[in-house]
């Protein structure tokens, strides 16, 4: 099933599929969000936003609006 990264619950794993924001997608790819890459939600901030994901061998935090530009296959 494909859905935006922001909709995954804590601990859920998936695979990067595509992006829906062209501008942001370049930065995301540069930082290791490559299509096909394994991804896991490792933390969600107390107020539900931002979230921290484990991808490409490290942990990155992003705001929900940014996370939702990443479509994940899970």
Q: In the complex, what is the shortest distance from the CB of residue 2 to other proteins, in angstroms, rounded to a whole number?
A: 19
Interface with other proteins (CB under 8 A), residue from 1, 26, 38, 73: 26
Tokens of 42: 């490792």
Asked if residue 43 binds other proteins (CB under 8 A), the reply is: yes
Asked if residue 63 binds other proteins (CB under 8 A), the reply is: yes
Cα angle for residues 68, 72, 74 (degrees, 5° grid):
135
- 40: exposed, middle or buried (C-beta count within 10 Å: 0-12, 13-18, 19+)? middle
Binding site for other proteins (CB under 8 A): 22, 25-32, 34-35, 42-43, 45-50, 52, 56-63, 66
């Amino acid at each position: 099933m494909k859905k935006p990264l922001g909709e995954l619950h804590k601990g859920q794993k998936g695979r990067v599929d595509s992006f829906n924001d062209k501008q942001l997608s370049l930065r995301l790819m540069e930082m290791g969000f490559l299509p096909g890459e394994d991804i896991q939600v490792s933390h969600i901030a107390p107020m539900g936003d931002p979230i921290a994901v484990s991808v490409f061998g490290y942990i990155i935090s992003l705001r929900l609006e940014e996370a939702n530009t990443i479509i994940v296959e899970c």
